[in-house]
Chains A and B, each alone.
Chain A
Amino acid sequence: MTPQAKRRAFLVAALLVAGSALAVISAGGIGDNLVYYWTPSQVHENADKAVGATIRLGGVVQEGSVDWRPDSQSLTFTVGDGAHDTEHTLVVHAKSAPPQMFREGIGVVVEGTLTADGSFRADKVMVKHSNEYRAPTDGGDVKDLYATVEEL
């Protein structure tokens, strides 16, 4: 092989490797093994596997469910798949102050374990911001901001 033919063979091989890797990943070949968090429904479905293991749970903080007691640093709230009409919800207990953006109706990802009584004990509470960037409105309805979070 001439050096040129060799180089072009390398080009074809590299493009093939790159193309097939991308095809496999985009077709979901790796997606099933790459789970960053489970939704409350998925936790319910896999409750037997989930108990005791360290997992992440992601969902939306339900309206009226937040109970924060600063004196005892204890935080309790309910997480659902979406903001409303959620089939499955989970009660989450945490022992630390939440990030400042934490509130009802916002997306969260919590890290911790599912306990035998069916509630979730979180070591870490992380808040998810939507892809929307809005100027503050004067006392406006912040619920409008969560349109995309509800897709969780």
Chain B
Amino acid sequence: MTGMIQGGWGYVVAVYGISWAVLLGYALVALRGSRPAALSALDPGTDPNAGSDA
């Protein structure tokens, strides 16, 4: 009842694992959704060279 906390790595791994998963996952979604190609699909008016389907 006087030493430092033992066996804490499980919590550390959980916190870092969740944090990196959320941040990387969110970054992937945010970057994919903001690619020039994705934006011209969303709004063909923004880039006359890209929106061939519209």
Q: Do chains A and B touch in the complex (CB under 8 A)?
A: yes
Closest to B5 in A: A100
The number of chain B residues with a CB under 8 A from chain A is 6
Q: Are B4 and A103 in contact (CB under 8 A)?
A: no
Binding site secondary structure of chain A: loop
Q: Which residues of B contact A146 (CB under 8 A)?
A: none
B23 at the interface (CB under 8 A from A): no
Using Cβ atoms and an 8 Å threshold, which residues of chain A touch B12? none
- The A-B contact count (CB < 8 A) is 14
Give complex CA distance A136, B5 in Å: 12
Q: 1/0 contact trace for B1-13 toward A, CB 8 Å?
A: 1111110000000
How many interface residues does A have (CB within 8 Å)?
Answer: 8
Determine whether the beta carbon of A68 is less than 8 Å from that of B4.
Answer: no
**Per-residue CB proximity of A131-148 to B under 8 Å, as 1/0?**
000001000000000000
Provide the residues of chain B in CB contact with A66, threshold 8 Å: 1
6 contacts between A and B (CB under 8 A): A100-B3, A100-B6, A101-B4, A102-B1, A103-B1, A103-B2
Known contacts A100-B5, A101-B4; can you find 12 more A-B pairs with CB under 8 A?
A66-B1, A68-B1, A98-B1, A100-B1, A100-B3, A100-B4, A100-B6, A101-B5, A102-B1, A103-B1, A103-B2, A136-B4
